[in-house]
Chain A
Amino acid sequence: DAGVIQSPRHEVTEMGQEVTLRCKPISGHNSLFWYRQTMMRGLELLIYFNNNVPIDDSGMPEDRFSAKMPNASFSTLKIQPSEPRDSAVYFCASSLRDSPLHFGNGTRLTVT
């Protein structure tokens, strides 16, 4: 099992640019989560999907952030336009029903 796969591992971009983070969940998992991790706020849930449908996006910081899950094996988190305060590590996780979340290794985003 390859686990949750995220790409890219690192992203450096300039303020104002669009950033797209990608995630492939574990095959067969029906829930997908996007988290953001910073030293100041720790791990924060941004949004999660059940069966490809967004269920709770209350953690999404603002309209600059959007997430999609066009099918069961792929999700994107987009930031447009990006700002320096968006710099963080973004994690994708997946799970099956009530099983524990399995995390990817994250995308480290640096916005200059």
Chain B
Amino acid sequence: GESVGLHLPTLSVQEGDNSIINCAYSNSASDYFIWYKQESGKGPQFIIDIRSNMDKRQGQRVTVLLNKTVKHLSLQIAATQPGDSAVYFCAEIAYGNNRLAFGKGNQVVVIP
């Protein structure tokens, strides 16, 4: 895509394997977290979210884990498919604040 690329951490995963993408956040006041997927030439697309009163949330083939103690967020994708190839961003927001702050992104490349 035109906006992401050369210097992003890259995860190469075999089709059918599970993927884990990690994200560290810095603001201890953040209480709402979102994972976005961005494919080439498109805008970020919502995948899954989690609030700070939870430590795990599951969606279809995706699971988000939140560890507030170490300010860490992860996204697990089960049975990774070629269509999962994209850049994945974590984003955080603090209660009462509408400013969604994005991380740098992680490139996932699925090998058929």
Interface of A toward B, CB cutoff 8 Å: 4, 31, 33, 37-39, 42-43, 45, 48, 50, 55-56, 88-89, 91, 93, 98, 100-106, 108
Taking the nearest CB of chain B, how far is it from the CB of A2, in angstroms? Answer: 13
CB–CB A42/B44 < 8 A: no
Interface of A is mostly: strand
Q: Given contacts A31-B98, A37-B3, A56-B98, could you give 13 more A-B pairs where the C-beta distance is less than 8 Å? A: A37-B4, A39-B4, A39-B7, A42-B103, A43-B89, A43-B102, A45-B100, A48-B98, A91-B43, A91-B44, A100-B49, A101-B44, A106-B42
Minimal Cβ-Cβ distance residue in B for A92: B43
Once A100-B46, A103-B43 are accepted as A-B contacts, the answer to whether A56 and B3 lie under 8 Å apart by CB is: no
Minimal Cβ-Cβ distance residue in A for B4: A39
Taking the nearest CB of chain B, how far is it from the CB of A44, in angstroms? Answer: 8
Partner of A45, one of B2, B7, B43, B99: B99
CB–CB A42/B34 < 8 A: no
- Contact flags B76-112 to A (C-beta < 8 A → 1, else 0): 0000000000000100000000111111110000000
Minimal Cβ-Cβ distance residue in B for A35: B102
Collect the chain A residues with CB atoms within 8 Å of residue B44's CB.
43, 91, 101, 103
CB–CB A105/B102 < 8 A: no
With most chain B CB atoms within 10 A of its CB, the pick from A42, A98, A104, A108 is A42
